[in-house]
Amino acid sequence: MTHPTLEDVAARAGVSRALVSLVMRGSPKVGKERREAVLRAARELGYRPNMMARGLAAGRTGMIGVLLSDLHDPWSGAVYDGLADEAARRGVRLLLATGRGGPARERAALDDLLDLRPDGVVLAGPRLAAADIERAAAGCAVSVVGRSVRSDRVDCVTGDGAAAVERALGHLADLGHHRVACLDLGPRPSPLRRACPPGSVAAHPDELWRRPEPPAAVLALGDATGTAALTALLRAGRRVPDDVSLIVHGDPPGARAAGVTTVASPPAEMGREAAALLLDRIGDGAPAATRRVTVPPVLDERGTTR
Amino acid sequence: MTHPTLEDVAARAGVSRALVSLVMRGSPKVGKERREAVLRAARELGYRPNMMARGLAAGRTGMIGVLLSDLHDPWSGAVYDGLADEAARRGVRLLLATGRGGPARERAALDDLLDLRPDGVVLAGPRLAAADIERAAAGCAVSVVGRSVRSDRVDCVTGDGAAAVERALGHLADLGHHRVACLDLGPRPSPLRRACPPGSVAAHPDELWRRPEPPAAVLALGDATGTAALTALLRAGRRVPDDVSLIVHGDPPGARAAGVTTVASPPAEMGREAAALLLDRIGDGAPAATRRVTVPPVLDERGTTR
DNA sequence: TTGAAAGCGCTAACAC
DNA sequence: GTGTTAGCGCTTTCAA
């Protein structure tokens, strides 16, 4: 029920603790003989270094914290994928935490995360107050994904919603569709509305049919709106894409499987970028200037546009 | 850029470190005067205890690890919600990790998690080898959700797929539907197939229409199958539920919003239960006998059945 | 009640 | 190359 320690390994291999420590961290200045003896002893004992002890002693933990504002949001999940890729590539571990609701809970989650003293944190789509982000940045490196934070100590990686809308409308125009409606079914108005042509936005599927000229194409602003839009169109007896084309901004679950055309800044890319920025900043002792990266949108043409 | 320590607080409050430690852990045996002085100093300094140091010294971390086999699976997310609720209620922190693919990566994630020395771990839908689970159980308390593990040292919380299928078919029978098809579109055959009436299972939506008597109701086995089934039915021009009723086993994203009738053992409930089992076992010094809990299915009647 | 002292498991100088 | 020595920030006896 208890874990073997460095000392157990040292005893078994007949060497000093420090030597074992060196071997465990892959130091080159250990004789081949002894190195192998140590590794064998460690293996036989099932030894695994205690990260807490290591972190305490080293002053760095080799871990970066990740705060996902909402675990259930596929966007967060995709950001996490990107982060995990980059982290694995660079040999650092991830410490995951989630917001679970309002800013208050998210703040609590962030505090809990910081109590573990990660070398840095990535905030994915945080709903935190700017002051909380700033406070975190005072303690360790911080980079933010999916929200632009005005601060001279945090890196930011953002998408480009306006460009995505433009890209979608351009694509639809290329297909010959000029009567485009933008659907926004969320509880709160999407910020993307501002990028849509004036008068094109509808807040309920029924509005679409009430128009003098029903739209030839629909741009759904967001995942939830996207799925709702598709079923609403089908239920209303419109064939997709024969009667009406559909592009969804975002990447709703099953979009690939259902063959839905989507447009968005790829979240995994954003996550990768955020991890890279953070690790660069942690790596160099030099406190490099903060950077801001914008990830351009990508249009995935699938079966709902023609 | 550096965090204040217990010692800083002690110095500022003019007391010893040990006293501060007692106050931080809410010990009752500290005078009111000094307690307040300590708390004030801590607040002014923005002090937060270092969990690594605390864990090292105390031998317990007050954290339980959670391994989600797949972050993107809504089921995992719901299990996590239940876990988080129960953990918050009992004042323990969660350490989240994810599988990201095959058993190998999941095993690596588990090892990384264990390196942080949590007091226990919950494995949600693990695809790990039984031996890996057993190995983990040798080091700390383990409870498993969504998979039955034969072991005398891990607790298990499972759903009941057969009961769910039975419940769904019963409900459809009550509605007068006896020609029921079970749809299973997954890459691998669902284990639920065995609970379905012989000959009722179809592996492709088109099979449904080729039958001599098209089904009056469809039971979709799983989230992905569920969403696919709904769009397939609508695309085929069937009205739901007028022409055909639909029940989905699971809880696909947007099922509530889209008004889809579902049946499943509620994952949040399973998570809560798993956390409770684990914390009970950690709490008592007494190594209680392992327990197995089965969570009964719940049918959520919404708009796709009639 | 309060304080002093001894670690928890490990790393990082520093000498040998 | 290898062993020795101090801590990292905290909890926990044990005295006072």
One domain for residues B150 and B169: no
Of A74, A115, A228, the CB nearest to B51: A115
Cα(B294)–Cα(A282) distance, integer angstroms: 47
Residue B90, Cβ neighbours under 10 Å: how many? Answer: 14
Q: Which tens digit of pLDDT belongs to each residue from A201-237?
A: 999 988 888 888 889 999 999 998 998 898 888 888 8
pLDDT bucket at B285, cuts 50 / 70 / 90: low
Q: Which domain holds residue A240?
A: 161-264
CA of B1 to C1' of D11 (A): 26
pLDDT bucket at B213, cuts 50 / 70 / 90: confident
When mean pLDDT is compared across A102-116, A183-197, A227-241, the lowest value belongs to A227-241
Residue A303 lies in a domain: no
What's the pLDDT score for residue A1?
54
Q: Which residues contact A136 (CB under 8 A, 6 or more apart)?
A: A110, A114, A121, A123, A142
One domain for residues B42 and B120: no
Q: Contact at 8 Å (CB) between A277 and A122? A: no
**Measured between CA atoms, how close is A237 to chain B, in angstroms?**
8
**Measured between CA atoms, how close is A49 to chain B, in angstroms?**
7
Give B297's DSSP letter. P
Residue with tokens 């004992």: A45
pLDDT bucket at B287, cuts 50 / 70 / 90: low
- Mean pLDDT of the B17-37 span: 89
Residue A232 lies in a domain: yes
Give B241's DSSP letter. T
What's the pLDDT score for residue A28?
84
Residue A243 lies in a domain: yes
B296 dihedral zone (left: phi>0; alpha: psi -120 to 50; beta) = beta
The 10 Å CB-count burial string (b at 16+, else e) for A253-283 is bbbeebebbbbbbbbbbbbbbbbbbbbbbbe
What's the distance, Cα to Cα, between the start and end of chain B in Å?
63
One domain for residues A166 and A260: yes
Q: Which residues pair with A158 in a beta bridge?
A: A294
Q: Which of A221, A219, A222 lies closest to A171, judged by CA?
A: A219
Is residue B175's pLDDT more than 70?
yes
- A150 in contact with B, Cβ within 8 Å: no
| Cα atoms in the 13 Å half-sphere on the side-chain side of B123 | 30
One domain for residues A147 and A65: yes
Cα(A168)–Cα(A174) distance, integer angstroms: 10
Residue A180 lies in a domain: yes
Residue B235 lies in a domain: yes
Cβ contact A228–B96 (<8 Å): no
Please tell me the total count of domains within chain A: 3
One domain for residues A34 and A106: no
Residue A129 lies in a domain: yes
pLDDT bucket at B29, cuts 50 / 70 / 90: confident
Residue B303 lies in a domain: no
Residue B54 lies in a domain: no
One domain for residues B75 and B135: yes
Is residue B234's pLDDT more than 90?
no
One domain for residues B195 and B141: no
**Measured between CA atoms, how close is B111 to chain A, in angstroms?**
8
Cβ contact A257–B71 (<8 Å): no
List the CATH number of the domain containing B25.
1.10.260.40
pLDDT bucket at A285, cuts 50 / 70 / 90: low
Cα(B20)–Cα(B42) distance, integer angstroms: 9
Is residue B262's pLDDT more than 70?
yes
Is residue A110's pLDDT more than 80?
yes
Cβ contact A253–B139 (<8 Å): no
List the CATH number of the domain containing B198.
3.40.50.2300
Cβ contact A117–B231 (<8 Å): no
B115 contact residues in A (CB cutoff 8 A)? 48-51
What's the pLDDT score for residue A30?
85
One domain for residues B95 and B78: yes
One domain for residues A174 and A258: yes
Three-state secondary structure of B179-240: CEEEECCCCCCCHHHHHCCCCCEECCHHHHHHCCCCCCEEEEECHHHHHHHHHHHHHCCCCC
Is residue B152's pLDDT more than 70?
yes
One domain for residues A115 and A150: yes
